[in-house]
Every structure is written in C-alpha cells, then in structure tokens.
Amino acid sequence: MAVKSNHVTIKGIKDGLVFLLDDQCELEELLSELRYKLEHSHQNILTGPIIHVDVKLGSRRISEEEKQSILDILKQKGNLLIRTVESPPPEPEDEVVSGPVVKTGMVRSGQVLHHKGDLLFLGDVNPGGTITATGDIYILGALRGTAHAGIEGNEDAIIAASYLAPTQLRISDMISRPPDEWETRETVMEFAYLQNGSMQIDKISNIVRLGRDFNVFKGV
C-alpha cells in the first residue's frame, strides 16, 4: 500500500512501514505535512500494535537537531518504533592540517618558494634563492639563501635549518644581522626567533626554552 501527498510517502513493507520524505522541499514544509499525515492518514495502522519504521530522506542532509525534529513527530504515535533513518553523511569539514606541509627539492638562485602556513622543506636553499611562509620554516638541508617566516606579521614564527648560513633572515618585519656574521656558525641544526624586538639564534635542542610546542613532524 502507498499513500502520497506531495512530500510524504508512507509505504507498507513486510515487517513495518517506510516513510519516504521528499528531499527537495523546505524542511518546515516537510515537517508540517508529516504532522498532518500522521493525524489524518492510516489511522487503522498508526493506532494499532507496534510497527517498525524506516525513514528515508533521499539526498537531504540534516543536522542532528533537524533529525530529532522528525523523530519527535513520529514518536507522537506511540506504536511507531523508529528502526532506521537513512540520509547522506554530513558535509565534511575543512581538513585541519596538524603539522607543517612537506615540500622537497632545491631552491636555486632566482627561485622563490612560498607557502601559506608552516613549511617543512627537505632540501637546500642556494644563494640567491628565497623561501617564504606565513608560519614557521623548517629546512632539513642547508639554508644559504634568504628565508622569510611570518610574512603576514606573525612575530612568533621561527626559521630552522640543518645548516644555517643565510644571505638574509626575516621574521615578520625584522631583518637579521649582516651575512658576514654567519661565517663561523656551528654545523648543528639551529633556529632563529624574535625576542624583545631582536633576532636571536640558538641550537634547535634549546627550542623548548621558548615554552612553545614545535612538533615539527606532527602529521608528517
């Protein structure tokens, strides 16, 4: 058996009822018609013994609150036992990147590599090459060119490299010391950061002293 009035179709199946709900109309219009139909149609069935009900929403995506609105209407008939509610899954939320994005290669003279967010670069940045990011920059390789982190004003950004011998470092609007001061740098991984308005350089092992969690490889 089947009764249809625009947006709500009630079909009898072997072990219960199926409510087919139109997925194109406004939800409020659908709910109103569902209420009306339960009050004025199939009274011989809807007032009888317990009936299992499957609800099919087609391509309509609904929130938990909207789903509950439908169930509340159906539950007003005490003999209706909701078995399933079929609807598409909710729209996926924008993926949250839990760590820096990884890029590989080599930045040669005249080339510029830009990234929005934190960047983990596997390779070298040669003299004349430039690497920029709105967040942190981590280079597993030699930095001999220019690196600019926090380019949109993030003064908490850092620049780290396995071998730090840059032409120039910039964090936010702060520019590093002259390049001739890098000639005697240690051959351990170091990082640059801002402190009290000036740029500081330290071994990567001391990064925890800043009281910040730089889990570089999270999500990699």
156, pLDDT greater than 80: yes
Is 2-86 a domain of CATH 3.30.750?
yes
What are 169-198's pLDDT values in tens digits? 999 999 886 555 555 555 678 888 898 888
Instruction: Give the model's pLDDT for residue 185.
Output: 55
Query: pLDDT category, 106, cuts 50, 70, 90?
Result: very high
- Are the CB atoms for 84 and 67 separated by under 8 Å? no
Q: What are phi and psi of 111, to 5 degrees?
A: -95, 150
Instruction: Give the model's pLDDT for residue 155.
Output: 92
Instruction: Give the model's pLDDT for residue 120.
Output: 94
What are 64-73's pLDDT values in tens digits? 889 999 999 8
Instruction: Give the model's pLDDT for residue 74.
Output: 87
- How far apart CA 132 and CA 161 sit, in angstroms, is 13
Instruction: Give the model's pLDDT for residue 1.
Output: 42
- How far apart CA 147 and CA 139 sit, in angstroms, is 10
**Domain 101-210: CATH architecture, name and number where available:** 3 Solenoid (2.160)
pTM: 0.51
Tell me the domain boundaries of the chain. Answer: 2-86, 101-210
